[in-house]
Amino acid sequence: MALLKQCKQQVCDVIEQESEKLHALSQDIWKTPELAYKEHTAHQLLTSFFSSQAWEVQAHYHLDTAFRAQWSSEATDCPPLHVGFLCEYDAMPEIGHACGHNLIAEVGAAAALGLRGALESVQPPRQVQITVLGTPAEEDGGGKIDLIKAGAFEDMDVVLMAHPAQGDAGYIPDEAIHDVTVKYYGKASHASAYPWEGINALDAAILAYNNISVLRQQMKPTWRVHGIIKNGGVKPNIIPDYTELEFYLRAPSLKDLADLREKSYACFNSAATATGCKVELSSSTHDFYDVLPNKTLAKTYKENGKQVGMWFASEETELNAMAGSTDFGNVTYEVPGLHPYFYIGSNAFNHTAEYTEAAGSEKAQYYTLRTAKSLAMTALDVIFNPDLLESIRQDWKMAKEMEDIPSGIDTARDLNCRAGCSSFHIKNKTE
């Protein structure tokens, strides 16, 4: 496959040629951290970038801060093979790009440029359509889920993106997540003069927190529940009449998440019963599904990654690692997808100020670009090898069949079902 080899080389050359522009793009995003659905500067930077590179851009694609950029090679007799690359670009409150989404955007852009450059340099075996989707609101909300609902993934064959971490990995089992806001309503009273007249909403909040801590003993090791008290009252001498908590519930499958949700809701409700408060449980964001594995895609990515200098832990280590959650999970229920993790030259952990610094560092560039090369090379393998695509489709079908999806949940369309950045335990060998 001399042509494939030549194309892979071309991917690397194009990405290197464009490296300064790509670096500037991710730097500009990094310097202006924006929260979910409000990523106006990042959106503007990315849409201008793709327009200037002669891509067909649909800015404001179904969402204000989403976009779609497309390019297609010349038509052949076969229907086009449709490859999607995703760019995330939302940041975290107060600590900026602490999950490195500026680098995710750069990887998506670089991989798309590299793949297009390679396909323009040869006569590809079939027509290829490349779509870059700008997907807002991963840290909160789930922009990809809005885009799934709008049909954005419907005709794609494979979707690829990569996420910054502490090491390179082909697949880490990101968990399904359900966010819940818990509100307790009590009755205010003078806390010293007439405490018996009050109904203490803070007591309910503390009981709820402790109920969850007690439940933890009976949780499976892969389950995660963590929360904060957003409102704990206003003054010590006023019995709090209102408190508010926010919790994230996570589990490795939709079935486990439904179980965990039931148990956790019992903890929240019983705290209300014990204190005489009223309770309100609500969720304002989409549930994220677990990320389905695709062995063939992950293996192909790792083979390419090794060619550009990556080191990977064993598959078993990867499968036992914990990450967080992502709305890419829902994408993997729609279309075969790959969501590898990549080293950015730092040992810092995601969601810390140190990681923000690392994501904006010059050092991260080398690792970010080699990740983009590996993603684009993986796309080339899919394009040049029809058997590979067949195997990817088989893996996808099997992974979906193996999910024990609770009744009442239609993963195809009912996105109101259940599904972190904790530490990524995959370490780089050299660290």
- Binding positions for ligand LUH2OMYS, rule: CB under 6 A: 99, 139-140, 163, 174, 177, 179, 248, 285, 323-326, 420-421
**Which residue, 156, 131, 143, is CA-closest to 72?**
131
CA dihedral 406, 154, 303, 70 (to 10 degrees): -150
CB 346 within 8 A of CB 304: no
Nearest approach, Cβ of 129 to ligand LUH2OMYS (angstroms)? 27
Beta carbon nearer to ligand LUH2OMYS, 116 or 163: 163
Beta carbon nearer to ligand LUH2OMYS, 234 or 353: 353
Beta carbon nearer to ligand LUH2OMYS, 128 or 172: 172
Nearest approach, Cβ of 137 to ligand LUH2OMYS (angstroms)? 9
Nearest approach, Cβ of 163 to ligand LUH2OMYS (angstroms)? 6
SS3 at position 416: coil
Query: What is the DSSP track for 344-366?
Result: -S--PPTTSHHHHHHHTSTHHHH
Beta carbon nearer to ligand LUH2OMYS, 49 or 342: 342
Beta carbon nearer to ligand LUH2OMYS, 110 or 291: 291
Both tokens of 353, joined, read 């100020």
Between the CA of residue 104 and those of 19, 129, 208, 325, what are the distances in Å?
Answer: 15, 21, 37, 15
Q: Which residue has the tokens 């079939």?
A: 126
Beta carbon nearer to ligand LUH2OMYS, 10 or 285: 285
CA distance 47 to 68: 8
Burial of 152 (0-12, 13-18, 19+ CB in 10 A): buried
Beta carbon nearer to ligand LUH2OMYS, 38 or 393: 38
Beta carbon nearer to ligand LUH2OMYS, 179 or 203: 179
Nearest approach, Cβ of 138 to ligand LUH2OMYS (angstroms)? 6
With a CB cutoff of 8 Å and minimum separation 6, the contacts of 386 are none
Burial of 246 (0-12, 13-18, 19+ CB in 10 A): middle
Nearest approach, Cβ of 143 to ligand LUH2OMYS (angstroms)? 11
Q: Which residue has the tokens 């694609």?
A: 61
Which phi and psi (to 5°) does residue 280 adopt?
Answer: -130, 125
Nearest residue by C-beta to ligand LUH2OMYS? 324
Nearest approach, Cβ of 148 to ligand LUH2OMYS (angstroms)? 15
Beta carbon nearer to ligand LUH2OMYS, 176 or 201: 176
Between the CA of residue 75 and those of 79, 80, 123, 128, 308, what are the distances in Å?
Answer: 8, 7, 11, 8, 31
Nearest approach, Cβ of 423 to ligand LUH2OMYS (angstroms)? 11
| Residue 301: count of CB within 10 angstroms of its CB | 29
Beta carbon nearer to ligand LUH2OMYS, 226 or 278: 226
Nearest approach, Cβ of 74 to ligand LUH2OMYS (angstroms)? 37
**Which residue, 149, 38, 151, is CA-closest to 84?**
151
CA distance 428 to 151: 38
Edge-to-edge order in the sheet of strand 158-160: 56-59, 67-72, 128-134, 81-87, 158-160, 337-338
Nearest approach, Cβ of 208 to ligand LUH2OMYS (angstroms)? 19
Burial of 38 (0-12, 13-18, 19+ CB in 10 A): middle
Q: Which residue has the tokens 């080191």?
A: 311
Beta carbon nearer to ligand LUH2OMYS, 158 or 419: 419
Nearest approach, Cβ of 136 to ligand LUH2OMYS (angstroms)? 13
Nearest approach, Cβ of 242 to ligand LUH2OMYS (angstroms)? 23
